[in-house]
Amino acid sequence: MGEPLNNPLAVSQALQSMTDAHAFALSPNFVTVSTVAPSPAHVRRFLDMPKAKIAWSVHGATDKMRRALVPTTSSTMVELREAFREVMAQRGDTDIFIECTLIEGVNDALTDVEALVEFLRPFGKEGVKINLIPYNDTGVNGWKPSPWETILAFQAHVRTQGGWPTFVRTATGEGRVECMRPVGDRGGSARCWCWGEWEDVGGEARVDVYKKKKVLTNLNNAWAIRNTRGFRKGAPRQQGQRQREVGLEV
């Protein structure tokens, strides 16, 4: 796909078509342009594009880590961050999506998450949403995805120290996504993970694919589903009843 900010004209035309009321008629809030941010000048190209959500592939918050993971980096992380803040202020954006691919033993340590939290603070309490992406093992450099326990600890630290919504991207299989994860010391309960958000539902739960939607199957008379406003808990439902998740196509 390439870097979108290296091809701003084509990206602008695509955004115009997707958000035009006489074409695809999508809301700009449901269209996202993801960029690695080659330079501050590239970032400022967003000012000349139709409105859409912005996602920044950070991967490493320090200059050293960033250059190790994104060798094309030529600017400091502070320079890039300030360019994004400038664009957001001029466009009236309220938040930015920060994406971090987590690699075992490379960028998933406590020092890495602490550096990320401190780096993102200038965006403010309401200005950031974070997407944690387990590394896709392609056999390069011997890298492996971070273990789930590490990813969840990383997520918890960002949430508690930064206060930002923090999601974990899942890999989907052929027609089914399982998400049974024991809590251990929580009396045998489990946590259900759907679209990256963990929510204690007081029992086992799993995500099924049902009528081309991701849905939560309730196994122990407790349920939680994610809609456009986050996870929602509700009154006990009949065991096995499925609740359709809003707006997420498989």
Q: What digits encode the pLDDT tens for the residues 21-74? A: 999 999 999 999 999 999 999 999 999 999 999 999 999 999 999 999 999 889
| Token representation of residue 201 | 């539902």
Ramachandran area for residue 193 (φ above 0: left; ψ -120 to 50: alpha; else beta) = beta
- The whole-number pLDDT of residue 230 equals 37
| Residue 135 shares a structural domain with residue 23 | yes
Parent domain of 186: 176-249
- The whole-number pLDDT of residue 203 equals 38
* Greater model confidence, 19 or 242: 19
Q: At which of 134, 168, 202 does a domain end?
A: 168
Residues 6+ apart with CB under 8 A from 104: 135, 143, 144, 145, 146, 147, 150
The domain that contains 51 carries what CATH number? 3.20.20.70
| Structural domains counted in the chain | 2
| Residue 232 shares a structural domain with residue 155 | no
Q: At which of 168, 200, 220 does a domain end?
A: 168
Q: What digits encode the pLDDT tens for the residues 130-183? A: 999 999 988 878 899 999 999 999 999 999 999 999 999 876 543 333 333 333
Q: Is the Cα dihedral 85, 86, 88, 92 positive or negative?
A: positive
Q: State how far the Cα of 215 lies from the Cα of 222, in Å rounded to an integer.
A: 14
| Residue 123 shares a structural domain with residue 10 | yes
| Residue 158 shares a structural domain with residue 199 | no
| Residue 147 shares a structural domain with residue 209 | no
- Tell me the C-alpha to C-alpha distance, in Å, between residue 250 and each of 175, 191, 210: 8, 21, 9
Q: Is the Cα dihedral 88, 156, 179, 99 positive or negative?
A: positive
| Residue 150 shares a structural domain with residue 197 | no
Q: What digits encode the pLDDT tens for the residues 137-152? A: 888 788 999 999 999 9
Q: Is the Cα dihedral 20, 26, 30, 31 positive or negative?
A: negative
